[in-house]
Structure 1
Amino acid sequence: MKRNKIENAVCVPGLRICLADSTHTAGRGTYERQGYIYSSLAGLLQLIPQEKGFLVEVHSSNEQSIVPVPGNIVTAEVITINRRFAKCQIKCIGDTVLTRPYRGVLRKEDIRATEKDRVEVYDSVRPGDIILARVLPINEVQSYQLSTAENELGVVIAHSEAGISMVPVSWTEMQCPKTYHKEKRKVAKVVPE
């Protein structure tokens, strides 16, 4: 890759920039997939000299143009559910609050790591719940596939029918502190930083 020709080139999300090899490493605003470095946001390409080669970064004047990439942890709101999946709106990627949400789908088989055939969507998430999920490799063009099949992922905020924020009482239940009514959820084990 010739540095002077490619430096400050305009990138868009998903643009394949170069090979991910011993001289080119994915940095901020990029990700590596199947041996190539791709842009994860719209901006200008920067090659930062390292000891061995270059760190490939994309810098944007508006960092909000970030898009979810496979492996990202996202915060999403559950919008609708049915027997096979839950439709979600991705509100944050990591610590970055998005200016516009992205569509996500949490499929029944991606809710838990074990006993996948016994999972019920209604017993795991409900409309209005806020979840932490991992972005899976993209299969559909219109939405991102999400997974809560890790202990740290799942429902983090839920409201009871009385409109009160519920508290987790186990891995599978949350309880309303006012009415003491319990509801089933796939509860996230939130790890303090």
Structure 2
Amino acid sequence: MDGDLICIPGQRLCISDKVNVPGQGTYEKLGYIYAKFAGVVKVLKHDDTCSISVHGMIDQSIVPAPGDIVTAMVTIVNQRFCKCTIKCIGDIVLSRPYRGILRKEEVKAVGKDATEMYKSFRPGDIILARVLPMTEAHTYQLSTAENELGVVIAHSEEGIAMVPVSWTEMQCPKTLIKELRKVAKIVPEEVALLDSA
């Protein structure tokens, strides 16, 4: 790849190998490097490698990539899966939402067969999830099978924000009624910084 070119979200840029490596604003999938958002493609040559990156324009239209942590709102729940609307990637608010699906097998790391979707999520819940490699066009596969992933915001039937009381329950502070959820284990930023130091 020579020179700078303009790319669109999800555009395949080049093969991913020992020479071409994905950089900022890109992701690798099935041996190719793709653009995460619209922008200018930059090639930074090192000794024996080229880092392929995308530098966004003012109106970035970023797309979820495998491995990204996203914030999504649950819209539909049934026995086999729940459908979601992806609102953010990391701390970046998306200019448009994307469709996501969270299958029963991807809710928990253990006890997958015993998972009951309605005891894990309800419509309107805000969840943190990891993006899996896509298997369907226009729908992102999601997973909450990590302790840090799951429901972060839920409202009771009274419309009051509930507080987590365990990894499987949230409670309404007004009525004290508990509801089952797959609760995300949120690590405060200060503790995360101390752990990494």
Same-fold status (TM-score > 0.5): yes
Alignment equivalent of 1:146, drawn from 142, 148, 164? 142
Is residue 115 from structure 1 mapped to residue 111 from structure 2 by the alignment? yes
Matched, 1:23 2:23: no
Deviations 1:40-76 (A, max 9, x none): 2222211123344322111221353100011110000
CA distance in 2, matches of 1:181, 1:122: 16
* 1:62 match: 58
User: What is the one-letter code of the residue matched to 2:72?
Assistant: A
User: Is residue 34 of structure 2 the alignment partner of residue 38 of structure 1?
Assistant: yes
> Where in structure 1 are there 5+ consecutive unaligned residues?
none
Letter in 1 for 2:187: V
Pick from 73, 79, 82 the counterpart of residue 83 of structure 1: 79
2:158 pairs with 157, 162, 166, which one?
162
Question: Residues 40 and 127 of structure 1: is their aligned pair in 2 closer, same or farther, counting only changes over 3 Å?
Answer: same
Q: Is the 8 A contact 2:39 2:60 kept in 1?
A: no
Amino acid at match of 1:39: A
Q: Percent identity?
A: 62
Distance in 2, Cα, partners of 1:189 & 1:43 = 35
Q: CA RMSD in A?
A: 1.4
Alpha-carbon separation, structure 1, partners of 2:14 and 2:137: 23
Aligned position for 2:89:
93
TM superposition shift of 1:146: 0.7
Per the alignment, residue 105 of structure 1 pairs with 101
Q: How many residues align?
A: 189
Give the Cα–Cα distance (whole angstroms) in 1 for the partners of residues 18 and 75 of structure 2: 44
Q: Within 2, Cα distance between the matches of 1:112 and 1:126?
A: 16
Residue 171 of structure 1 corresponds to which residue in structure 2?
167
Q: Structure 1: which amino acid aligns with 2:188?
A: P
Q: Which of these residues, 6, 11, 15, is aligned with residue 7 of structure 2? A: 11
Aligned to 2:195: none
Structure 2: state its 5+ residue gaps: 190-197
Shift of 1:15: 2.4
Residue identity in the other structure for 2:164: P
Q: For 1:151 and 1:63, how far apart are their aligned partners in 2?
A: 34
Q: Which moved more, 1:41-50 or 1:15-24?
A: 15-24
